[in-house]
Structure formats: C-alpha cells, structure tokens
Amino acid sequence: MIKELIKLIFITPEYYVLFWNSMKVVFAIILGQVCFAVPCAWGLSQMKNKVGSVLFVLYIICMILPFQCTMLAQYMVINELHILDTHWSLILPLVFSTFPVFILYDTFYKLEDEMIEAARLDGAGEFQIFLHIGVPLAVKSIAASAALGFFEYWNMVEQPILFITTKTKMVLSEFVPFSNGRDQAAVAFAIMSIVPAVIIVASCRELIDYMGEDEIEKGNS
Amino acid sequence: MSKRRKIRYFRFILPQFIGVLVFMIIPLGNVFRRSFTGMGNRLTLQNYRNVLENKSFKLALANNITFDLIGIAMIMVLSFVIAYLIYRRRNARLILVLMFPMAVPSNASAVVWNLLFRNTGMFKGFSGILFITFVYLWKYIGINVLLWCISLKNLSHEMIEAAALDGADRYDIIFKIMLPNLKKTAFILGILSFVNSFKIFREIYTLQGSYPDSHMYMIQHVFNNWFSALDISKLAAGSVLVILSVLMVSLLALLLTAEINQPVKEKKLFKTEKMAK
C-alpha cells in the first residue's frame, strides 16, 4: 500500500501534472472571485433600493441554474474568445460565478447603517469605507465562501470533460482512477486526492465551531 | 442623493456584472434565440419537437424526476432529523464529520463505491436509483444539516420555552412552532438540494462513463452526448426547457413557503404570553 502511494507521488508523472493543474485552476478561480465578488456584494447590499434587489434576484437565478443548461452558452463564449482547451476556459466563467455574491450579500446587508454613515461624515471615501469597514467585518464569510468554492472546484468534472481535450491540461477531478483494474493504485490515488480536502476542512473547523457549537450553546443557555 | 448613491455603488458592482453579462446573460440570450432558429434562419418550434420526441431525453428526464423526488424528500427529512438531534444534544462536532464527504472529490469516492458495489463487491445488485440516492445523501447531507442547525439556533428561545411551559410536547414544538418558523430555510435548502442533485452526474460519469446503466442515465449525459455530436440546435432547445423547469420548480417552492410572515407571528406569541403572566 505505502509502496503504491510512493510510486504514485514520485514516479507517476501523470498524477503530478494533474495535481498541479488542479491547484492552479482552483486557486485562480478563488482569487478571481475574491477580487470581483466581494466588491460586487458590497455594492449590491448597500444600494438598498429597487435596482439593487432586482439585480440580486437576477444573480440568484444565475446561481441556481445547473451547469447543463449553461454549458452551451459557456461553450459559445469560450469558443468566441479562443480560449478553448486552455485553463482559462475553466477559470474565467467560474470567476464570475454569482454564488459568492449570494453568500456575502447577507453579511454586508446586516451591517449597521449608522457605522457606515458615521464613517462617511468623517470624510471617508466610498472605497475606504468598503476596505476598512466592510471587508474586515466580512472576513469570516469570505473565508466560508472560499472554502465552499474550494470543495466545489476541486471536484469539478462537467467543465473539464467538455472544454479540455489535451491530456496534459486535464485536472485531477476528471481523472478516472480505475481503468486498469489495479485496486491498490486506485486506493492510493483516492487517498492522495483527499489530502487537500482534509487540510481545508481542518482549517475551517474553527468556522464550523463558530457557526455550530458556540452559538447553539449560547442559544440554549 | 439617491441617484448619486446609486452611481456610487455601481462602481463596485460593474466589474463583476460585466463578467456575468459576458459569460452568462448574453450567451444565454443567444442560446434562447438559437433554440427557435431552424434551417435557413427561420423561426420554428421544430427543435423543441425534436427534443421532446427524443427517446434518450425522455428516459433521462424520467430518471431525473424520479431521483429528484426520492432524493430531495429524503435529504430534507433526514437532515432535519439529524439537525434536530444535534440541536438538542448540542453536539456540533458531528456537523464537521457530515460535511467531510462534500470535500472528497467524486473520483476518490468513486474508487470506494467501485470496490463496494461492483459485481464482485459486498453490495452487488444494489444499483440504479437506490445507489445514486445513497451517494447523494452521503455527499450533501452535511451542508443541509449545517444550515438547519444555524436556523434552529436562531429561533426565538423564549417562544419554545413558553410553548413547553404551556404543556406542548416535543412533537407539538417541532411541527407547530419550529417548522412553520423555518419555512424560509426550508425553501433555501430545497433549492440547494435541487441544484446539488444535478451534480450526481460526476459520480456516475466517473464510475460508468458517458453511457451508464439505463437507470442512471441523466440529462447531463444526454446533453454531453449531443454536444459531442455537435447537435447544437437540439442542445439549445433542451437547455431552454431545463432552465424553464428549474425556474418553475423554484417558483413553486417559493409559493409553498412564502405565505407566513414569521417575525410578526413570533412577536404576537410572545406578547400574549407576557399578558397572560
């Protein structure tokens, strides 16, 4: 068993390439989402008028559409932009996913208006308010949406099997591990691809404790 | 002021919104237009007729509906029961354990399913809808339990205690106080479970490829196969049909859960309780 693990990590070049492809794609998506979705959620939640809520409903609709109804649409854009069969075809559509906006909207919406108004009266610019009041108060939600994003994109299968054809550009999650019928190698592969997930779950333990245990006890006492 | 405020916030929204327009809304409009275009750019419903008469589409649709009905009903009930037990026993660590399967890549878990369920494995014969329902529950129950728990703990505690003092038993509290006040959560979880149910494709694809067992043939398979065959007009019409049905299901769920205005009810109950004292 351990022999198989060592063989997989150090000798199978396939695994190594796929692993780093996955890492690259997933972190690029999450970084992009943080850059674009956080300000967007801030803007939407602070508008507090009809335009804001209409846009938010539009975002929710975009969020609930499963990949199978948007695959043709995405394919046509990716084809237009000539990024088919590159990692950009996986990264770009997901950077503009509306899911993180949905998660962060609620957090920003609940912030007290007085605080923001006070900062504005003190002469803080809109961007300063966002950066120094909005972001620090939403760090936990941003981390939660990044963790959920990691689970989701580390797992993606539908997009890569359609958009990526070159073998060396494939990602770990579309790899079919048991084609040759060797069980031990398959199990070794499974163990290795769980590792990043375990690290992420372990690091958001604090988050879940915060959401679950502490507050349930607070509620019960 | 209001107008200036609007413009001020548009600056934050715009970069992301352009991305959503380019990658989602404009191409979806394009797909919608294409679904009605036939040979020689004429307006036609022929694409829809082709899709609805297609045998593999019908099979996949029936499979999807059966699986959704069984899977969503089971995940909603089971996750509420688990969340209720966690809430009573105050054992939040269990949520973490239940969340873990969601982080396991489909092909890694497929290795285990393959060992257990293939013809020589322990549970052979346990296949089709039952198998995918099992995998679906295993994978997505954690997030449902987490969200139920958050809402349960946010319920007004005074209200539940007051009911208990009035002699309501455990089941009265669950069915007459907790659940009616959790309708919003139920709606969000219903939609979330519905969206997640489409992702079961990943496990099926990793285990059985593009042409699985006929009980596990999902709409995603049909679309992928049309895509490989470059059958764009059928794919466009199919996409529009799926979008419409997703929107209809969401609207239905919204109507089913929207009518009760919870804060008002909560306050009233609380007030009458105080007056009685």
A155-190 pLDDT, tens digit each: 888 899 889 888 888 888 887 766 555 667 777 777
- Model confidence at A35: pLDDT above 90: yes
Identify the residue among A69, A103, A109, A179 best suited for mutation to test binding to B, counting B beta carbons within 10 A and taking the highest: A69
Q: Is B107 close to A175, i.e. CB distance below 8 A?
A: yes
How confident is the model at residue A214, as a pLDDT? 42
In contact, A197 and B103? CB cutoff 8 Å: yes
Q: Is A64 close to B92, i.e. CB distance below 8 A?
A: no
Asked if B95 reaches chain A (Cβ–Cβ under 8 Å), the answer is yes
Spell B102-119 as b/e; 16+ CB within 10 A means b. bbbbbbbbbbebbbebee
Asked if B92 reaches chain A (Cβ–Cβ under 8 Å), the answer is yes
Q: Is B150 close to A201, i.e. CB distance below 8 A?
A: no
Helix or strand or coil: residue B43?
strand
How confident is the model at residue A209, as a pLDDT? 52
How confident is the model at residue B259, as a pLDDT? 58
Closest CB from B19, B30, B153 relative to A36: B19
Lowest mean pLDDT among A166-180, A200-214, B32-46, B208-222: A200-214
- Model confidence at A46: pLDDT above 90: no
* Mean pLDDT within B85-91: 81
Q: Is A158 close to B242, i.e. CB distance below 8 A?
A: no
- Which chain A residue shows the shortest CA-CA distance from B202? A157
Tell me the C-alpha to C-alpha distance, in Å, between residue B250 and each of A60, B146, B147, B245, B258: 11, 21, 18, 9, 12
Phi, psi angle pair for B43, to nearest 5°? -75, 130
Closest CB from A64, A212, A216 relative to B246: A64
From chain A, the residues in CB contact with B112 under 8 A are 190
Interface of B with A in 168-187 (CB under 8 A): none
Measured distance CA(A201)–CA(B61) in Å, rounded: 35
- Model confidence at B266: pLDDT above 60: no
Q: Is A47 close to B9, i.e. CB distance below 8 A?
A: yes
Spell B214-236 as b/e; 16+ CB within 10 A means b. ebbbbbbbbbbbbbeeebbbbbb
Q: Is B11 close to A69, i.e. CB distance below 8 A?
A: no
Higher pLDDT, B126 or B140: B140
How confident is the model at residue A200, as a pLDDT? 74
Encode pLDDT of B131-177 as tens digits.
Answer: 889 889 999 998 899 888 888 888 878 888 888 888 888 888 888 88
Nearest to A200 by CA among B110, B135, B202, B100: B100
Dihedral angle of Cα B135, B140, B141, B147, to the nearest 10 degrees:
-170
Q: Return all residues near B99 (Cβ < 8 A) that are at least 6 apart.
A: A201, A208, B142, B143, B146
How confident is the model at residue B141, as a pLDDT? 92
